[in-house]
Structure 1
Amino acid sequence: MDSNELRRAFGEFFVERGHTQVPSASLIPFDRTVLFTVAGMVPFKRYFLGEEPAPYQRATSIQKCMRAGGKHNDLDQIGQTLRHLTFFEMLGNFSFGDYFKEQAIPYAWELVTSVLGLEPDRLWVTVHTSDDEAAEIWRDSVGVDPGRIQRLEEDNWWQMGDTGPCGPCSEIYYDKGVEYGADGGPAFGSDERFLEIWNLVFMQFDQQSEGDLIPLPKPCIDTGAGLERIVPILQGRPSVFETDLVYPILQEAESLTGRSYGVDHRDDVGLRIIADHSRAMTFLLADGVVPTNEGRGYVLRRIIRRLVLRAQLLGARQQVVERLVTGVIDTMGDAYPELRDRRERILELATREEGRFEQTLAIGAPILNAAIESGEVRGGVAFRLHDTFGVPIELTTEIAQDRGVPVDLEGFQREMTEQRSRSRQAGLGDDEVSEQPTGALWVLESFGKTEFLGYEAEVTVGEIQFVGQEGERVAVYVDRTPFYPEGGGQVGDTGWINAAGFRAKVIDTDQPVQGVIRHWVEVIEGELAVGDSVELVVDAGRRARVRANHTATHLLQWALREVLGDHVAQQGSLVAPDRLRFDFTHWSALSADEIQQVERLIMGEVVSASGVVTQVKDKETAVREGAIAFFGDQYQDVVRVVHAGDHSVELCGGTHVGSLGEIGLFKVISEGSIGANTRRIEAVTQLAALDVVHGLERQLDALERVLPGGREALTERVEALVAKNKTLDAELGNLRQEKLRSISRELAAKRNSSWIIERVDGLNGQELRFVALELRRLEGVEVVVLASVVDHKVALVATAIDPELHPANEVLEPVASAVGGRVGPQRELALSGGREVAKLDQALAELRAGSESAK
């Protein structure tokens, strides 16, 4: 049975037993507590937690999963074992309060024995030590030999967190045979011999903070069977790396490196890493992750760079990722058509990252090689490779270990800690802690979802369901509302809530749990009670500006894809009444011509005044018909499809204009980078865009007054003036440099030691640095320390010929400390400063005395 047949057999088995087949969710989870979708249950977590009612009682899925980075990280195990993978597929069946152990266990046994044909005498089962019920079902209902049912403690207990849903679990293991290790079943035998293939989780308790286990009113089932664990058994292969899932990719790695799998253990480890990381790289890029220096992007960057480095270490002499990505798409494209649909984008980003890494590696490799040849990679060197050249510490450690050289990880961590400290001082704080939506959950459980009328109305009458203080603000929940809650990049509506003797200003609207809309209000007068009838009035003028900006954002994404290519994908957005912001994947700054092309395309749509049409469809149909979905967004099974004119088609739940003509005018006001391979455009529409144009007109008028002669030649006059200023600046710079050289000659003439320690007032830090470097060239000079006072501030510089003998930062430290400054880690040339001018001369004198006594 090949892998596609296994996927089909698993899905059909459970669909025939009343389960809804749910397509795989993205690797980018809706759940913010995990970096990636790490298990089949993650997309259903909100149903298990009771945050939303499940739309089905039974479900089955084949879920793409990733365990690399964060709490669930198998990255360092890859290649070392035959069973660990970063990317894998989880087969699962789920019950949301419907059936429990009495059906879940027989289902699993029937599938693995009758459908997949596994021999019962090669299967073992484990249950929790306390779970007599599961053991009895396995023994009495299914007929498993009691000698093959083993009990385990924590290995067979599952919990979502310190509190919340939990319960025992039961696992099915396959005995690969005596050649794989010791007997004794999964409890006592070899891990390589007894392979876990399916885990059945029985969510039946609620773990309390005090330690009590409270039975859940509706126990649930969550099972997970590893596709990559089962396929080797069905295909008679020793590991997944030799099956139809991975072997074609591994063969590509063999071809690129000239190494053969199964000949040398170290080569095998490297080839397994390349094959695994190729799959992870391709699927992450397909799901919208781009290489960056933080979060998911950093994990992806590390995976790509680890893959490239391993390929080079095994002998690859050319770029490798294009062929490896192609191998993954050819192997997995039938099961995941999005890989073929996004092939160009995946290849562009992957090859670009490979090229960037090769450039940095070419610079960083000599530094690392020199450190390895010295016998130890010091912490400072490892940090510099990480921070400056983009070589992750894990790769530095791997390379060094391959050559038997230790890495000073403690020193590296000290450098990292210092860097984080500097970041905090610069105002970079911790991640925000998400709010606990207790009021919204109560509303959902008591009344159900809020009826949203905002697509058709801006004023309506509703009934109060709940009013309460949440944090320091007042929250109001109503059975129906025209207020749009913040979501999809669009800000929440504002407006008013009115009733007899009551008036409140709505300052924001959000959706703390799916389907429940919360109005944050400032009470102007009166009081509200549950059951009161109120009038809800959206600020129509503000809503109109938001609508225009939201529809313009759709046109912007279409225009960018037209001008730059289909690799452009939305990475974030803000739709506010005064502006719009759009983040997207692209690797270089847009030229002025490209920005004008984008603006012209959008204005062509605006002046056409085409209608904006919204349709409601099931998600699969909408995407199949060409609607663009925002990677990483969570969509319901039924979605709104917005057609903005003849070209732009997107899934979107926001509010939009009725005609593109309502946008009026579109103008880009800024474009820039917000991270590796990610750009940001800010733009304005309607009267805000006209204000920008008027502002530009005023600037031109002001320039024309300063440089008269007509607008037509204004550019030439400005360019001539700039050129003249550059010439004058160059002449002034030459004069300044000559003056600094003259100062250097005067100081050189005064010196009577190999240490030059002088105060030269009137020079800024850069000028002081120039003089110090001039003096360092003199024969016989070992150390130069210079100080200058300008505007009651002290500037300091120190430089040394031999930084190992006389580290510049250590030489400068006592002077810097005396004047109230600090010195960084630079050992060859150190800079500092301070405000304690009165203490400078004494500090310099003490340094001179110390340098003389040290001779």
Structure 2
Amino acid sequence: MDVRARFLNFFQSKNHIIYESMPLVPNDPSLLFTNAGMVQFKDIFTGKIPTPVDKKAASAQLCIRAGGKHNDLENVGYTARHHTLFEMLGNFSFGDYFKKEAISYAWEFVTKELGFNKNILYVTVHQNDDEAFEIWSQYVSPDKIKKMGDKDNFWQMGDTGPCGPCSEIFVDQGEEFFHTQEDYFGGDGDRFLEIWNLVFMQYERKADGTLCPLPKPSIDTGMGLERIQALLEGKKNNFDSSIFMPLIEEVSKLTRMPYIHQKGASFRVIADHSRAVAFLLAQGVNFDKEGRGYVLRRILRRAVRHGYLLGMTSPFLYKIVQKVCQQMGTYYPYLFQKESSIMDQCQSEETRFFETIESGMDMFKKELSSLPKDAPFSGEIAFKLYDTYGFPLDLTQDMLKEEGRKLDIKTFEFHMEEQKKRAKASWKGSGDEIKNGDFLEILNEFGENQFNGYEHSSFTSKVIALLNKDYKKITQLKEEGYIVFETTPLYPESGGPIGDKGVLYKDEKKIADILDTKKYFGINISKILPLKTISVGDTLHIIADNERIETIKHHSATHLLHSVLKKVLGEHIAQAGSLVEPNRLRFDFSHPKALSKKELLEIESMVNAIILQNIPATTEYLPIQEARSKGAMALFGEKYGDIVRVVSFADESCELCGGIHVQNTGIIGSFYITKESGVSSGVRRIEAVCGKAGYEYGKNALYVITQAKELLKNQDIFIGISKLKEQIKELKDKYSKNTSDNDLKAFEEIKGTKLIVQKSLSSNIKQLIDIAKNKYEKIAILLVYEEEDKVSIACGVKNATINANEWIKQIAKILEGAGGGREDFATAGGKNTSKIPEAMQTAKDFAIKKIEEFT
């Protein structure tokens, strides 16, 4: 049973909007990874962005719990249901339906769609939630409903904010399989297994702890796909299900060792971790020494170490990862597309780890053998294993758990803290870190350097500090490094605009290129590439790059765009991200749906109308409250003090901003919107150009129009294109008719099924398939169309024993592409045209085998 599809189709039938799984790396500085289905909708629940027009949603969300607060890593492989990566099925209501409907949907799905026996279902509710108890009593006998306290049945997002009671559905797995003292309903045993948690978000918790009813209560639910799949297959352990067993069997095949459940923790660790490695690499997380990349490295190394216990002494995990791509690429096509790259990265990282694992294991065994019976394992040795041999702490703890030993964790943490003090300081929020270097020393010595870039684009100033690539203070700089001036006109990257580039002069001779400018700990610092040696104390002439004015134009245009969006779309518009470069701008904002062509045209026209008015920019420094009362908007990513800088263009735009702007709007030039797209749930993105880039965009557009007119030999492009479309349609109809009468007669007949596998001269292969399916009663047809360096494929099935979705995937992979569809029709694309003959033969063999197998 395809539980994922069943779930999404069920809630789509209940008028829920289906959202795709958001990235595992969330746009949320408080989270290391996406760890629950509600993360995608967090800003809606907290009120950060407006409630979408469609107030009902459902999703199958990929989640990872392997770092930070939600860390299941050390339990994976040793329990029946802990995983690093899992899929969370959830349905959500943003002020639409509440308890009655949520419970009704859950009961209908579990009993009717999934077919669970009502007699084995149990429910918990919060001890004070009489309403939920009464609703559940319509479906479940009251003696199967248990009231629980806050610890088990009250959910909250944080110390403050949305929260509420929850209700959980349990499945009784059978007394004959579970009979410990805790295996009763409400106990900590495994007999009664929770399958679905329904959160009734009806309160807001204030800072003083009080609960205030929300004006529009909401619903947030979560159900683990892996757990449900195992139960439906009659398995008592998630790893025994069809999700994991193919991977475990692959481990068994590679290690040439049988999988015995009681002794199979290493098999389960490898199977589980291969999924997390595959998806993290596919979504752009790379192996690293810190942050998310380090968590990925820990996961891989834990899996490799367990492979080592099974006798593996060379890279192997990449082969399991390939199996993951093949297994899950049907629903997540990017696994097919990136399979080769994922395998290469995985194999390279394994190779590096295997180079040190032998030495590390020798050290571990030597220390272990020298310990008295009850003595803890040395924290110093554990740190050395971590620091020198790349053994993550939990990997060492895993090995000690197998030996029944404990670790001197305090000593390990002492050495870890000392290392951090020497080299790193935590970068709060995202799990990433930044090197502290000697910034604080510079700050203590000189304070924050002065920025005069509002008035100047060039300036002569003294060098007060130089740093190497590791941000360490030096007295002379001969290669790429960093420079700090007493006063600088260079604007640092902040919020949207990128940092200034430029050149440095000494005695009227160019001495360095300025590559970038940023701000750390209040200090403006520029990255430079010296042409000659630069020393602390030198007086240099700083000139900002000419690109600066183009960046400034795009920055001011961003302000105008923000203001116009509010006027056209509504006051709910709030900035959710921004990028400003010399040749473009990108603006992310909260909005529930895609913008229409009419809206985009109106926005573009209104911005240009403001530009044409030559409105001068005015700058004021005001108390923050006065600025807000004036209507000044706050830009994303900015930090504000008591006195703020307010930039206005008359009544058209007023924002809090520390950036540089044009003197008047006329300098911006023409403004063109180049793209509108979605970023995430409730967030849209507009990309645009102005200034020099705007001129180039307009010039290129006019050139294309001129060329089109010449080709069409008609000054009215629309009439010319319409005539061409009519001619093309006539030719297609004519060709399709001829093809149906002739080419599509070239079939084989296998056990009464007409089989067609061939290349098509027409690009309209879907129409040809429709013609064939209408003509023949029992047919399987697959057509391939080649155009330059790409391939299009489509297949259709009527009354034949072939699944079109499975069929097309057999050849899409060969052609280095991906695709899919329904059981009766599917499409795909590919890029390796040289493999077309091989792909077609594979498609033919697959079809014949399926037809004959059934017969």
TM-score with structure 1 length normalisation? 0.55
Change (3 A) 1:212 1:257: same
1:23 maps to 2:29:
no
Alignment-derived partner of residue 191 in structure 1? 189
Alignment-derived partner of residue 720 in structure 1? none
SS of 1:124's partner is strand
For the 8 Å contact 1:113–1:119, the answer to whether it is kept is yes
For the 8 Å contact 1:490–1:654, the answer to whether it is kept is no
For the 8 Å contact 1:400–1:407, the answer to whether it is kept is yes
Alignment-derived partner of residue 337 in structure 2? 341
For the 8 Å contact 1:249–1:327, the answer to whether it is kept is yes
Change (3 A) 1:529 1:176: same
Shift of 1:318: 3.4
1:279 maps to 2:275:
yes
Alignment-derived partner of residue 614 in structure 1? 674
For the 8 Å contact 2:46–2:162, the answer to whether it is kept is yes
The aligned runs of 1:129-144 (5 Å cut-off) are 129-139=127-137, 141-142=138-139, 144=140
For the 8 Å contact 1:249–1:328, the answer to whether it is kept is yes
Alignment-derived partner of residue 36 in structure 2? 39
SS of 2:226's partner is helix
- Give the partner amino acid of 2:14: R
**C-alpha separation between the residues in 1 aligned to 2:75 and 2:616?**
67
1:539 maps to 2:661:
yes
Alignment-derived partner of residue 387 in structure 2? 387
**Cα displacement string for residues 744-801 of structure 1 (whole angstroms, at most 9, x for unaligned residues):** xxxxxxxxxxxxxxxxxxxxxxxxxxxxxxxxxxxxxxxxxxxxxxxxxxxxxxxxxx
**C-alpha separation between the residues in 2 aligned to 1:167 and 1:483?**
27
Alignment-derived partner of residue 536 in structure 2? none
SS of 1:25's partner is coil
- Give the partner amino acid of 2:244: V
Shift of 1:660: 8.5
For the 8 Å contact 1:505–1:523, the answer to whether it is kept is no
Shift of 1:69: 0.7
**C-alpha separation between the residues in 1 aligned to 2:132 and 2:691?**
48
For the 8 Å contact 2:185–2:192, the answer to whether it is kept is no
Residue number among 215, 218, 221 corresponding to 1:217 in the alignment? 215
- Give the partner amino acid of 1:395: L
SS of 2:344's partner is helix
Aligned residues: 533
**C-alpha separation between the residues in 2 aligned to 1:487 and 1:128?**
43
Identical amino acids, percent of aligned pairs: 39
**Cα displacement string for residues 248-273 of structure 1 (whole angstroms, at most 9, x for unaligned residues):** 1111111122232235x23x111111
For the 8 Å contact 2:559–2:653, the answer to whether it is kept is no
- Give the partner amino acid of 1:408: D
The aligned runs of 1:486-565 (5 Å cut-off) are 487-488=578-579, 503-504=619-620, 517=635, 539-540=661-662
Shift of 1:613: 8.8
The aligned runs of 1:668-747 (5 Å cut-off) are none
Change (3 A) 1:358 1:104: same
1:92 maps to 2:93:
no
**C-alpha separation between the residues in 1 aligned to 2:692 and 2:579?**
10
For the 8 Å contact 1:11–1:61, the answer to whether it is kept is yes
C-alpha RMSD of the superposition: 4.8
For the 8 Å contact 2:615–2:664, the answer to whether it is kept is no
**C-alpha separation between the residues in 2 aligned to 1:225 and 1:484?**
33
Alignment-derived partner of residue 243 in structure 1? 241
**C-alpha separation between the residues in 2 aligned to 1:655 and 1:195?**
63
Alignment-derived partner of residue 60 in structure 1? 58
Shift of 1:118: 0.4
The aligned runs of 1:263-302 (5 Å cut-off) are 265-266=262-263, 268-302=264-298
Alignment-derived partner of residue 148 in structure 1? 144
Alignment-derived partner of residue 121 in structure 1? 119
SS of 1:422's partner is helix
- Give the partner amino acid of 1:616: E
Alignment-derived partner of residue 604 in structure 1? none
The aligned runs of 1:155-174 (5 Å cut-off) are 155-174=152-171
SS of 2:37's partner is coil
Unaligned runs of 5+ in 1: 435-439, 441-452, 467-477, 510-514, 548-610, 620-632, 645-652, 664-855
SS of 1:180's partner is coil
Residue number among 9, 14, 39 corresponding to 2:11 in the alignment? 14
SS of 2:89's partner is strand
The aligned runs of 1:457-476 (5 Å cut-off) are none
1:329 maps to 2:325:
yes
- Give the partner amino acid of 1:176: Q
Change (3 A) 1:402 1:433: closer
SS of 2:31's partner is coil
**C-alpha separation between the residues in 1 aligned to 2:211 and 2:692?**
46
For the 8 Å contact 1:462–1:533, the answer to whether it is kept is no
**C-alpha separation between the residues in 2 aligned to 1:461 and 1:324?**
49
For the 8 Å contact 1:459–1:538, the answer to whether it is kept is no
Shift of 1:661: 13
Q: State the structure with more CA Rg.
A: 1
For the 8 Å contact 1:383–1:415, the answer to whether it is kept is yes
For the 8 Å contact 2:617–2:650, the answer to whether it is kept is no
For the 8 Å contact 1:461–1:535, the answer to whether it is kept is no
Change (3 A) 1:367 1:662: farther
For the 8 Å contact 1:158–1:169, the answer to whether it is kept is yes
Alignment-derived partner of residue 561 in structure 1? none
1:418 maps to 2:418:
yes
- Give the partner amino acid of 1:15: Q
**C-alpha separation between the residues in 2 aligned to 1:248 and 1:542?**
65
- Give the partner amino acid of 1:223: T
Alignment-derived partner of residue 702 in structure 1? none
For the 8 Å contact 1:463–1:531, the answer to whether it is kept is no
**C-alpha separation between the residues in 2 aligned to 1:11 and 1:121?**
25
**C-alpha separation between the residues in 2 aligned to 1:341 and 1:111?**
34
**C-alpha separation between the residues in 2 aligned to 1:18 and 1:529?**
44
- Give the partner amino acid of 1:213: L
Alignment-derived partner of residue 175 in structure 1? 172
SS of 2:200's partner is strand
**C-alpha separation between the residues in 1 aligned to 2:186 and 2:576?**
55
**C-alpha separation between the residues in 2 aligned to 1:220 and 1:78?**
33
Structure 1's consecutive aligned runs of 4 or more residues displaced over 3 angstroms after TM superposition are 182-190, 403-407, 453-466, 482-486, 488-506, 515-547, 633-642, 653-663
Change (3 A) 1:346 1:465: closer
TM-score with structure 2 length normalisation? 0.55
SS of 1:346's partner is helix
**Cα displacement string for residues 155-190 of structure 1 (whole angstroms, at most 9, x for unaligned residues):** 011011111111100000011111331398764446
- Give the partner amino acid of 1:280: A
Shift of 1:49: 0.2
- Give the partner amino acid of 2:11: F
SS of 2:312's partner is coil
**C-alpha separation between the residues in 2 aligned to 1:360 and 1:10?**
46
For the 8 Å contact 1:493–1:543, the answer to whether it is kept is no
Shift of 1:84: 1.1
For the 8 Å contact 2:127–2:147, the answer to whether it is kept is yes
Alignment-derived partner of residue 534 in structure 2? none
Shift of 1:403: 3.8
**Cα displacement string for residues 100-153 of structure 1 (whole angstroms, at most 9, x for unaligned residues):** 0010001100010011110000100000100000000000x33x1111001111
**C-alpha separation between the residues in 1 aligned to 2:575 and 2:107?**
49
Change (3 A) 1:460 1:189: closer
Change (3 A) 1:395 1:542: farther
For the 8 Å contact 1:66–1:88, the answer to whether it is kept is yes
Alignment-derived partner of residue 450 in structure 1? none
For the 8 Å contact 2:615–2:650, the answer to whether it is kept is no
SS of 1:151's partner is strand
**Cα displacement string for residues 187-213 of structure 1 (whole angstroms, at most 9, x for unaligned residues):** 444632111100000000111121211
